[in-house]
Amino acid sequence: MAVHVSCPAVALPEHRVPTSAVIADLERYGASGAVLRIVRNLGVEHRYMSRTLAELAEPEGAEARNAATVAAVNHLGAHAAADALHAARLDADEIDAVIAVHSSGVTMPGLGVHLAATLGLRPDALHIPVTQVGCTGGAWSLALAADLVAAQPDRRVLVVVAESLTSSYRPAEPGMVPAMYRALFGDSAAAAVVTAEWRGPGLRVERTWSHLLPDSARYYWMTLHDGKGQHFDSTSAAVSAVAECMPPLVDWLKDAGLPQWVAAHPGGPKIINSVADGLPVPVDLRHSWNSLREHGNTGGPAVLDVLRRIHQAPPPHGARGLVAAFGPGFFASAVTGTWQEHATL
């Protein structure tokens, strides 16, 4: 049975912050030359932030920072969702299920309930709130939505992934790893509709995949930090984690079919290069590099931004593709299928 993904919509906050401004901010708080060299080599030219660098540098308790984070997630998520419905030519009351994903900000009820009120979703729409998949969120939610549609073909699923990762920005915090995440992260939301109907050019999902690396819980993690809000950290093992995920992904692809085009999570240069090096066929990852350069690592929404860029320069009808993302766990998720430029019987 065919499962189609509509063209993703992406929402960005108002503050476009160049890396030069981040470097100046880190210098102001005494970052070392080694830290600044790492920041310059991350491949990020700009990122979009829900608050200014000056606002984020102000002393602030966890409650106030969390409230601002949740507000940003809800605002961006609602905008992306509305645009995705428009792209799929659907009204909100035609949606049967919503997968609402965010890892930044702690709240109950969450993003899905906000979307129901803002968009006008039906009261009987199935809600699936997800808060712990991090950067894997875009690919993971597409995989879950595809499985839901395959199980019930008349179901129309709205996927919304929103993050305000820059809420963790604290320039005075010492160390290489915190500075790297401060410079990598951006805010955004992305949304798409998954149905059994062809609703425009895009990916037709045929198979889904997930993989949890054994004993990898301490590769990358998030905690509440010193009363100041959410804090992301990792060990050196995180650098090689994507490379460790590639052999089982390639084994799966040998049965599913090797890709001719790839939307890979643009979490950083090492992640994109690990995907390129781990695949047995050459692939063009310029859309992942461009997303990283223009938006930074926005977490779960990022791979959907890459897929959106592929819509702007689409592969041939029938070309096999792969959407893959990687995140805390250490966990990988992917979907594969073919590009459908037009409806087929």
Tell me the domains of the chain and their CATH numbers: 3-195 (3.40.47.10), 202-340 (3.40.47.10)
Task: Compute how many other C-beta atoms are within 10 angstroms of the C-beta atom of residue 127.
Answer: 16
pLDDT of 169 strictly over 90: no
Report pLDDT for 98.
98
CA dihedral 179, 61, 230, 189 (to 10 degrees): -90
Q: Model confidence over 11-49: pLDDT tens digits?
A: 999 999 999 999 999 898 888 898 899 999 999 999 999
Q: Compute the distance between CA of residue 135 and CA of residue 22 in angstroms, rounded to an integer.
A: 22
Contact at 8 Å (CB) between 103 and 300? yes
Contact at 8 Å (CB) between 305 and 294? no
Report pLDDT for 70.
96
Half-sphere exposure of 247 (CA within 13 A, CB side): 4
Q: Model confidence over 228-238: pLDDT tens digits?
A: 678 777 888 88
pLDDT of 208 strictly over 70: yes
Decide: residue 225, CB within 10 A, 0-12 exposed, 13-18 middle, 19+ buried.
middle
Report pLDDT for 239.
81
Contact at 8 Å (CB) between 188 and 295? yes
Contact at 8 Å (CB) between 3 and 208? no
Amino acid at 3: V
Q: pLDDT-derived band of residue 185, with 50, 70 and 90 as boundaries?
A: very high
pLDDT of 345 strictly over 70: no
Contact at 8 Å (CB) between 266 and 335? no
Q: Model confidence over 268-286: pLDDT tens digits?
A: 999 999 999 999 999 999 9
pLDDT of 191 strictly over 90: yes
pTM: 0.96
How big, in percent rounded to 5, are the helix, strand and coil portions of the chain? 40, 25, 35
pLDDT of 332 strictly over 80: yes
Report pLDDT for 144.
98
Q: Model confidence over 101-119: pLDDT tens digits?
A: 999 999 999 999 999 999 9
Among 54-63, 182-191, 200-209, the range scoring the smallest mean pLDDT is 54-63
Contact at 8 Å (CB) between 199 and 193? yes
Strand pairing of 230-234 and 331-340? unpaired
Q: Residue 288 is encoded by which pair of tokens?
A: 């992942």
Where are the extended beta strands (E) located within 40-156? 46-49, 97-101, 126-130
